[in-house]
Structure 1
Amino acid sequence: MKRYRQFEPILVSEFKSSDWTHPEHNHNHYEFIFIANGLGTHVINGHPVPYQSGAVFFIGPEEYHYFEIEQETHFIYLKFTDAYIYRNATDSGELTRHVEYLRKSRETHQHGFSLLSADLLTVRLLFQVIASLQYDTFANQDLIWYQLLSISTVLMRNMPELQANAGRSRDLQAIFCYIHKNIYTPDLLRSQVMAPYFNITPDYLGTYFKRKAGITIRSYIQRYRDTLIRQRISAGRMILKEIADEFGLTDVSHLSKILQKGTGL
């Protein structure tokens, strides 16, 4: 399988095509893809997903995809690397958390985002702004940053598992989404708080999760949090105190205990 490599922190491309010429591929960066107009199928990780005007897709480095175009399609691509996400430690936190959540919840987003009409208009305008900045992405890095943050915010609130209504899904994916979104707020990850969100009892929440996932909900939360913490340490852009504060941990010693427990060091 072909792998595309991007060395620039951020790239924007806008084009129209009636014939998709790229092979099935993955890449070393993230992609937000907006279908301004057109009709066809987006094949993501082997799953065919029909698309039409207004479709939005988010592709992570671990995913592979290609398009089958039925009607000339107008694409707007926003491609960015980890270097762009972590470019400024003082204001990267919110975008980092959004990207982590969207990436982890790929079972939902690989089918595309179903946006409310008002949000679809907003996203369309945001991508149009991004397209207008493509000719000098270096000078426009800050402007693109805020458009990207706005797009990810809109997509997050349109995740079906997180919408507040009586018909909210109770399946395992919904629980995963809740955990991924609230991993930075320990008080929201207690069974007594989570269970009412899904209209079930705390005991049944734990039993259901263990039966479906093969791991206790507490262990899953710990493993996911530890993974995110190690990624931040590896990036080398945050001190331990900042990481501890971000995840709602009491102090650096608490953080050290988490890492020792996970690595045995």
Structure 2
Amino acid sequence: MEVEQILKPFEIHIEKLKIWEKRPHRHNFFELVYIDKGEGRQCINQSKFPYAAGNIFLLPPLDCHSFNIKKETTFYFIRFTDLYFSKETLNGSYGDWFKKLSYVLSNYNKVAGDIIKTGSCLERELLVNLIKQIHQEYLSKDDYSETVIESLMTSVLNILARNIERRYVEEGRNRDYKFGEIIRYIQHNIYDKEKIRLENLSNQFNVSPTYFSEYFKKHSEYSFQEYVIKSKLKLAESYFKHSEYSIKEVAYMLGFTDSSHLSKTFKKNYNMTILEFKKGDIQVCSN
């Protein structure tokens, strides 16, 4: 299968198409897609769903995708590689940027398509304006454009992450308000081993340590420890797929004892080694 590549760490393009002539393909880059006008169907791996004006998608590297255009469509494509996050001039460190991106990728349900929840009109409008501003700065290419684009991209990632977090919190709040806040706290502090210890959480939310695990299990399909482990492994998946971080580095960031601990936990939950996961074939899709 064709793997589309970009030669620069960051690109943005507008394409107005009546027919999607490309075969289903994969990328070597991340791609944020905004549908300005038009409608049709999108395929990601083996999942298909409709798209319409205003939709926003995030496509990770190596996901197979294509579009079946029903009405002439204007696409905004923002494409960037992991090298974009490694620039010394970038606002914030590589690690901070990639943490945010990994959080979005690991928790974004691609089958649902649009990354912004239906009804979040102001949030969608803000994100669309940011995308269009990025395009204008990309075209202007003056002495300030690069720095402005970096700042705008930071805002885009923060908005996407906030929407992902809201999904978690709302799911929890539908069961119990306090549980929703607990989920928010865990997701917000997933990289901080001390803050997501049971003892700290029980103090934060005024639930006795002896009852906390029972309370969590009552409102979740997983036990507290299972939920934390699965949340960390989702992030680990993203790092292994989309970055050059070593197993040792990922283990350290996510609070595992060492690389062996992460490897054993990964194999127990996925029934495969990390190396097998990295080499795994991605499903092919068709229009």
TM-score (norm 2): 0.67
Deviation at 1:220, TM superposition (A): 3.9
Aligned to 1:161: 167
Aligned to 1:189, the other structure's residue is in SS state: coil
Map 1:82-231 → 2, pairs under 5 A: 82-88=82-88, 91-92=92-93, 93-108=95-110, 111-115=113-117, 116-135=120-139, 140-159=145-164, 160-164=166-170, 166-167=173-174, 182-191=189-198, 193=201, 202-203=213-214, 205=216, 208-209=221-222, 216-217=226-227, 219-220=229-230, 223=233
Rate the CA distance shift 1:39–1:168 in 2: closer, same or farther, 3 A: farther
What amino acid is aligned across from residue 121 of structure 2 in structure 1?
Answer: S
Deviation at residue 17 of structure 1 after TM alignment: 1.1
Stretch of structure 1 that moved more, 222-231 or 130-139: 222-231
89-98 or 71-80: bigger deviation:
89-98
- Shift, 1:123, TM fit: 1.0
CA contact (8 A) 1:12 1:77 kept: yes
Change (3 A) 1:180 1:5: farther
The aligned counterpart of 1:172 is: none
Report if aligned partners of 1:30, 1:80 keep a CA contact under 8 Å in 2.
Answer: yes
Q: CA deviation at 1:107?
A: 2.5
- Alpha-carbon distance, 1:149 to partner: 1.4
Unaligned runs of 5+ in 2: 177-181, 206-210, 265-287
1:205 Cα offset (Å): 4.3
Label 1:56 to 1:231 Cα distance change in 2 as closer, same or farther (>3 A). closer
Report SS of the residue matched to 2:258. Answer: helix
- Report how far residue 150 of structure 1 moved: 1.0
Contact 1:49–1:112 (CA under 8 A) maintained in structure 2: no
- Number of matched pairs: 242
- SS of the residue corresponding to residue 158 of structure 1 reads helix
Per the TM alignment, residue 31 of structure 1 is displaced from its structure 2 partner at its CA by: 0.5
Inter-CA distance 191–122: structure 2 relative to 1 (3 Å threshold)? same
Q: Which moved more, 1:88-97 or 1:122-131?
A: 88-97
| Larger displacement relative to structure 2 (110-119 or 22-31) | 110-119
Q: Percent identity?
A: 20
Identify unmatched segments of 5+ residues in structure 1.
170-174, 250-254
Matched, 1:80 2:108: no
Structure number with higher relative contact order (C-alpha < 8 Å, ≥ 6 residues apart): 2
1:104-128 superposed Cα distances (whole Å, 9 cap, x missing partner): 1232575212341111111111111
CA spacing shift, 1:262–1:176, aligned 2, 3 Å: same
Deviations 1:16-39 (CA, angstroms, capped at 9, x unpaired): 111111111111110011111211
3-state SS of 1:133 partner: helix
Give the alignment's TM-score, normalised by structure 1. Answer: 0.72
Give the distance between the partners of 2:72 and 2:97, measured in 1 at CA: 32
* Cα offset, 1:209, TM superposition: 2.5
* CA–CA separation in structure 2 for the residues paired with 1:66 and 1:14: 16
Match of 1:56 in 2: 56
SS at 1:113 equivalent: coil
Looking at structure 2, the residues matched to 232 and 22 of structure 1 have their Cα atoms a distance apart, in angstroms, of 24
Note if 1:66 corresponds to 2:77.
Answer: no
Contact 1:33 1:77 in 2 (8 A): yes
Per-residue CA deviations over 1:154-189 (Å, capped at 9, x if unaligned) read: 1222225234573269xxxxx999866532222443
Distance in 1 (CA, whole Å) between partners of 2:242 and 2:14 is 32
